[in-house]
Chains A and B, each alone.
Chain A
């Protein structure tokens, strides 16, 4: 089975029913994507599959065969962080940081769909992502800042 992970084609040896999460973590050593619940309740495992945010803990790797998978490791181009990542840093969002890969992947997908979300739209889009440290106020702030950064940079 082949996957396209962060733009590169990779061969997968895991069984087809293995959740994409564990293929990424244990076979491909892409451990930025996190295990939190195993049943799509916390969002820590969010990656993009064919451009859409999905919960990799309940997605069998066979469902991703031949499709583009984007993980947190594929967001920045070298040292060039994405606008969302820069907004996260600027807002000093992370505490323990464990959920933040998933939060950033969802926020990134949200801003592609909706470049200027309201607080309510952010709350709805990110309702599936748990942060036990309670960084929610800063996540909200960072999403707004990222929207602004993206708009400003697009205008240049």
Chain B
């Protein structure tokens, strides 16, 4: 890791006066436009750090906290360089302004497991620059050289004279002496880290054990109305007419009106709104999706997979090699629609006043919410204010490009003079959500004389996440959605600098964007890997079996030129005792993926009963996430990522019949429960590389690793998911 003095990672800021706090910038002289701030005012040291005279340090957080640990790692980074206790840093959600956009996405977006990596330099630099200004102020005030000063626990010290000053006491001097943030600043050498790299408990952990943590669903505003929406039975359906006579007679009901999403009942309380919704009589236009079904998608996608797709990669001559091969192995893998089922269902509070709109929304994507609302209302984007509370899970759902649960609350609030809060019931969440798209992958492969994979031909069919969105073409290449093939390509593709870690001599991958009917596709924790991981890793397992090569040995050979993955696999072999035999009825399988730069591999042991009931006895996960900023957080994300992927693989299935989603709640859309949760052993490889992601990584390999273990135990391949649809029930 390089720790030479670096150029500022932060862009220079305009001098702004806002909210009673004095914000000042690197290049602007400090002025005293507001006298109140000149004496005892708090100071924005830079865009991310505010210090007040009583030494309260506030971080403006430009990433969302939905369980991912963003608030913990970001305060740790700041605390390390500023020499304060990370737990004492107050957090304020940063406003939806370009200053706070992710340097990676150029939007206000928390996604892709890149928060730690993309804030690693900015947050540390913010802390180091603030510290440099405090040191400079103390040096001038005390008339001592800066080199003699040190900082600790929120104070500047001069050991020779015993002088010390809490940071808050130096603010007045910073203003008076017109001290500017330095252009460059040295960051700490990792050998000096006191916080980073050490296990750290969740920043907002205390509020999450005493019920005081505020999620969006918990917020209450004066005069607020509660709304429940009756949604069409079919995705894309519309209200033709409705009779609200019964609903309007129900207690607490204030208004019933049609909006784009359906018919909304506004009432004094949520229960009153929900109950009255049951009294509505609605005539629906079932729309274009009436009659579509998951089975129809599977059969159409299978047919498409037989046709040449858009060519993403053609290394060597896969078609020639396959046509000359003595034996061609062929398989089709089918993965269903999946709901996110965040435990806090979607909700949003909106207030529309004149040409301004304010929302209170648990969101991963607030610059997009702002854009969509501004377009919808025809008001300037800066007139849309987003307040972001904590979120009860997200897993991609709250990054909706359509801002569906946000803009509908705005529509419901239009014409009301009070804030309106919409809460989705669990049934709405399961039936009317956005989903991980259904995918079919057609695979063909052949072996060389030694039994190693020689040719690989893959055709992926499924709805594109990005096609037609504002990310088209940035996240597409020649019409191909790079997420549809995530981790399937040997060469860099579009903005993805990485693909698979495997090298197969003849490698051809094609893609079809399935027609955009039925549902709105949405990122689901680990995104493309949720299906590409299954297709690639299970089929690789099939080739290993056909060539009579141990699947881990095969991957070691295929990754001999990929040092990081090869190391992960070598450690996995050792830590999982891969080469030790298992007893009858048990099986072992593995899979390895690279998600957002981090290589991760898992070995799974299962026990399978005669009737297909199975337990997962053990999951060993080896992860190279670069420098592990918070090992305790990493372990939690790995366990959680495995639980999430496992539930989807074991029994996750949104099944559409005649246009209607058949599932409705946790009884028919089951999720992992405690007794099904396997023992997880996490091995984080030591690394001096910059940190990469951990939030979605562990989700990527778990489904194929379990399926491969079931094959190892029973000789039966699962090629249609979930596992429960093929007689394998996780108990």
Which residues from chain A sit less than 8 Å from chain B, CB to CB? 14-15, 18-19, 22, 25-27, 29-39, 41-42, 44, 71-73, 75-76, 81, 85, 88-89, 92-101, 104, 122-124, 126-127, 129-140
Among A85, A130, A132, A134, which residue has the most Cβ atoms of chain B within 10 A?
Answer: A134
- CB contact between A92 and one of B205, B271, B393 (< 8 Å): that residue: B205
CB-nearest residue of chain B to A72: B211
**Shortest CB distance B647–A (Å):** 8
The B contact surface, by secondary structure, is: loop
B215 interfacial contact with A, CB 8 Å: yes
Q: How far is the CA of A134 from the CA of B345 in the complex (A)?
A: 17
- CB contact between B636 and one of A72, A95, A126 (< 8 Å): that residue: A95
Q: For residue B673, which residues in chain A have a CB less than 8 angstroms away from its CB?
A: 127, 129-130, 136
Interface window among B141-149, B494-502, B664-672: B664-672
B594 interfacial contact with A, CB 8 Å: no
Q: For residue A76, which residues in chain B have a CB less than 8 angstroms away from its CB?
A: 210
Q: How far is the CA of A75 from the CA of B212 in the complex (A)?
A: 12
Q: How far is the CA of A126 from the CA of B207 in the complex (A)?
A: 22
Q: How far is the CA of A61 from the CA of B25 in the complex (A)?
A: 55
16 A/B residue pairs, CB under 8 Å, sorted by A = A18-B271, A25-B218, A25-B270, A37-B426, A76-B210, A85-B209, A85-B210, A88-B209, A93-B209, A94-B67, A94-B208, A95-B202, A96-B394, A122-B674, A127-B673, A135-B639
Q: How far is the CA of A132 from the CA of B647 in the complex (A)?
A: 9
Query: In the complex the two chains form, is B210's CB within 8 Å of A22's CB?
Result: no
**Shortest CB distance A24–B (Å):** 11
CB-nearest residue of chain A to B251: A15
Q: How far is the CA of A36 from the CA of B341 in the complex (A)?
A: 10
B45 interfacial contact with A, CB 8 Å: no
**Shortest CB distance B233–A (Å):** 19
Q: How far is the CA of A126 from the CA of B67 in the complex (A)?
A: 21
- CB contact between A132 and one of B202, B211, B270, B343 (< 8 Å): that residue: B343
Given A27-B269, A89-B201, the answer on whether A97 and B392 have CB atoms closer than 8 Å is yes
Query: In the complex the two chains form, is A73's CB within 8 Å of B640's CB?
Result: no
Query: In the complex the two chains form, is B672's CB within 8 Å of A134's CB?
Result: yes
Work out how many contacts link A and B, with CB atoms closer than 8 A: 176
B174 interfacial contact with A, CB 8 Å: no
**Shortest CB distance A151–B (Å):** 20
CB-nearest residue of chain A to B426: A37
Query: In the complex the two chains form, is A101's CB within 8 Å of B636's CB?
Result: no
B643 interfacial contact with A, CB 8 Å: yes
**Shortest CB distance A22–B (Å):** 4
- CB contact between A130 and one of B211, B343, B391 (< 8 Å): that residue: B343
Given A76-B210, A100-B208, the answer on whether A133 and B393 have CB atoms closer than 8 Å is yes
Q: For residue A137, which residues in chain B have a CB less than 8 angstroms away from its CB?
A: 639, 677, 679-680
Please give 6 more A-B residue pairs, beta carbons under 8 A apart, in addition to A19-B271, A123-B675: A25-B270, A39-B665, A71-B211, A97-B204, A97-B207, A97-B213
Q: For residue A139, which residues in chain B have a CB less than 8 angstroms away from its CB?
A: 674
Given A26-B226, A34-B343, A39-B667, the answer on whether A98 and B393 have CB atoms closer than 8 Å is yes
Interface residues of B in 180-215 (CB under 8 A from A): 201-202, 204-215
**Shortest CB distance A48–B (Å):** 13
**Shortest CB distance B394–A (Å):** 8
Q: How far is the CA of A44 from the CA of B271 in the complex (A)?
A: 17
Query: In the complex the two chains form, is B345's CB within 8 Å of A89's CB?
Result: no
Minimum-distance CB pairs A-B, first 10: A32-B211, A134-B643, A98-B392, A96-B67, A97-B208, A72-B211, A95-B67, A134-B640, A94-B208, A136-B677
CB-nearest residue of chain B to A96: B67
B704 interfacial contact with A, CB 8 Å: no
Query: In the complex the two chains form, is B205's CB within 8 Å of A94's CB?
Result: yes
B476 interfacial contact with A, CB 8 Å: no
Query: In the complex the two chains form, is A94's CB within 8 Å of B343's CB?
Result: no
CB-nearest residue of chain B to A88: B209
**Shortest CB distance B245–A (Å):** 20
Interface residues of B in 602-643 (CB under 8 A from A): 632, 636-637, 639-643
Given A15-B251, A33-B211, A36-B426, the answer on whether A89 and B205 have CB atoms closer than 8 Å is yes
Query: In the complex the two chains form, is A123's CB within 8 Å of B66's CB?
Result: no
**Shortest CB distance B488–A (Å):** 26
**Shortest CB distance B667–A (Å):** 6
Q: For residue A136, which residues in chain B have a CB less than 8 angstroms away from its CB?
A: 639, 643, 672-674, 677
CB-nearest residue of chain B to A87: B209
Query: In the complex the two chains form, is A134's CB within 8 Å of B211's CB?
Result: no
Q: How far is the CA of A147 from the CA of B679 in the complex (A)?
A: 21
Q: How far is the CA of A131 from the CA of B647 in the complex (A)?
A: 11
B663 interfacial contact with A, CB 8 Å: no
Q: For residue B345, which residues in chain A have a CB less than 8 angstroms away from its CB?
A: 35-36
Among A36, A76, A135, A140, which residue has the most Cβ atoms of chain B within 10 A?
Answer: A36
B358 interfacial contact with A, CB 8 Å: no
Query: In the complex the two chains form, is B666's CB within 8 Å of A37's CB?
Result: yes
Given A92-B636, A96-B392, the answer on whether A81 and B209 have CB atoms closer than 8 Å is yes
CB-nearest residue of chain A to B210: A76
Query: In the complex the two chains form, is B269's CB within 8 Å of A14's CB?
Result: yes
Q: How far is the CA of A126 from the CA of B676 in the complex (A)?
A: 12
CB-nearest residue of chain B to A73: B211
Q: For residue B342, which residues in chain A have a CB less than 8 angstroms away from its CB?
A: 96, 98, 132
CB-nearest residue of chain B to A134: B643
Q: How far is the CA of A36 from the CA of B215 in the complex (A)?
A: 13
B440 interfacial contact with A, CB 8 Å: no
**Shortest CB distance A142–B (Å):** 10
B423 interfacial contact with A, CB 8 Å: yes
Q: For residue A88, which residues in chain B have a CB less than 8 angstroms away from its CB?
A: 209
Query: In the complex the two chains form, is A75's CB within 8 Å of B640's CB?
Result: no
Query: In the complex the two chains form, is A38's CB within 8 Å of B215's CB?
Result: no
CB-nearest residue of chain B to A76: B210
- CB contact between A97 and one of B67, B394, B671, B672 (< 8 Å): that residue: B67
Q: How far is the CA of A37 from the CA of B425 in the complex (A)?
A: 7
Given A95-B69, A98-B215, A104-B209, the answer on whether A22 and B671 have CB atoms closer than 8 Å is no
B106 interfacial contact with A, CB 8 Å: no
**Shortest CB distance B393–A (Å):** 5
**Shortest CB distance B457–A (Å):** 36
Q: How far is the CA of A119 from the CA of B671 in the complex (A)?
A: 20
Query: In the complex the two chains form, is A35's CB within 8 Å of B217's CB?
Result: yes
- CB contact between B209 and one of A94, A124, A138 (< 8 Å): that residue: A94
**Shortest CB distance B276–A (Å):** 12
Q: For residue A134, which residues in chain B have a CB less than 8 angstroms away from its CB?
A: 639-644, 672, 677
Q: For residue A27, which residues in chain B have a CB less than 8 angstroms away from its CB?
A: 269
**Shortest CB distance A69–B (Å):** 14
B395 interfacial contact with A, CB 8 Å: yes
Q: For residue B390, which residues in chain A have a CB less than 8 angstroms away from its CB?
A: 96-97
Q: How far is the CA of A124 from the CA of B427 in the complex (A)?
A: 26
